Structure 1
Amino acid sequence: MDYETEAIRPRQVSTRSLDAFDRKILGVLVKDARLPYAEIGNLVGLSPPAVHDRVKKLREAGIIRGVHASVDGPAVGKPLLAYVHVDAEGWGKSQRMMRLQAFPEVEEMHSVAGDTCVVLKVRTADTHALEHLLLQIYILPGVKGTKSYIVLSTYLERPVQAEVTGTWPSVPMPDD
């Protein structure tokens, strides 16, 4: 059995420490990466050249991995969002499981601890397309089963929040 996992995104731990300005810049970029450096500077209290330099260093350190468009699934004909838990023989990060990257329906792929090996976030046109994708998953050698969870409503979906550092605000609970 081949356990080659070169296609897996490596976890790069940056040696660059983040200060408050870096976190503020990242917070602004997460909300709108199209803002000019001058506007980001106004929001975080730095000059445009200082913002440019910090963003360049954040990219070089691998902290900013890219800038992406957030596309609306239903608007592009993929309104069905589901999470698929894949149970397979052996470890989930095998080359055979990495073949799932080839399917454009697969948006995310995570090796997890628990009663499954891999969790996929998938987006399809309808249940028939999801069924076809599941068939392709079952064809993979070693796949023992899947559990699919179809999303009915999404209440929160956001990227990594860089400004969060481990302190949480008190959230008032409604009276029941």
Structure 2
Amino acid sequence: MDEIDRKICGLLQANGRASSAELAEAVGLSVSSVNERVRRLVAQGVITGWQAVLDRGATGASLCAFVLLDVDYEGEAEACTALSERPEVMELHHVSGARSYVMKVRLADTAALQAFLQEVVKPLRGVRRTETMISLDALKETMAVPVAPRGEGRR
């Protein structure tokens, strides 16, 4: 990826609906050159998909919580697969430290969170303990990946 590719990626993350003409103007290339670059970025797996960003409240998922999971080795793979397949689970990270995993979930309210934990998470084989933190406010929440200039971030 050169600097123009990086700029295109940054622009598309900020506005996935940007037209080829808008991208071309922003990076100083022709529309056909920008289209070819975007096609190449998709083919190379740099751009992995396109999606709409929805209002969480309007979709009934206004509560955000982070669940710390202690998971035993026996049942770990099964639990991770089951949790990864749940639509409430936005993120599932295997982490270092005192806990095994951190899971970000979005649900309607605390009653839905309690039901999810009791009916889905805690019965999973391997799940030994959970600790849940409810987000009171999201000061920053993004899916955008930093697009470092060439040479930075590769040490």
Q: In 1, distance between residues paired with 2:59 and 2:144?
A: 24
Partner of 2:69: 86
In the alignment, which of 28, 31, 35 is matched to residue 48 of structure 1?
A: 31
Aligned counterparts of 2:30 and 2:95: Cα–Cα separation in 1: 42
CA distance in 2, matches of 1:95, 1:20: 42
SS of the residue corresponding to residue 100 of structure 1 reads helix
Percent of aligned positions with the same letter in both sequences? 37
Which of the numbers 3, 14, 39 marks the counterpart of 2:22? 39
TM-score where L is the length of structure 1:
0.79
Query: Does the alignment pair 1:144 with 2:133?
Result: no
- Per-residue CA shift, 1:110-130, capped at 9, x if unaligned? 111111112111001111110
Quote the Cα distance in structure 1 between the aligned partners of 2:110 and 2:145.
32
User: Hey, what does 2:49 align to over in structure 1?
Assistant: 66
Q: Which amino acid aligns with 2:77?
A: S
> Residue 148 of structure 1: SS of its match in structure 2?
strand
Structure 1: 5+ residue runs without aligned partners? 1-17, 168-176
Please state if 1:25 is matched with 2:25: no
Offset at residue 92 of structure 1 (A):
8.7
Deviation at 1:101, TM superposition (A): 2.4
Q: Distance in 2 between matches of 1:81 and 1:96?
A: 21
TM-score (norm. length: structure 2): 0.89
Deviation track 1:82-127 (CA, whole Å, cap 9, x = no partner) reads 1111111028961332101232211111111111112111001111
Aligned residues: 150
Find the counterpart in structure 1 of residue 114 from structure 2.
131
- 2: CA distance between counterparts of 1:101 and 1:25? 31
Moved more, 31-40 or 99-108: 99-108
When the two chains are superposed, the root-mean-square deviation of aligned CA atoms in Å is 1.8
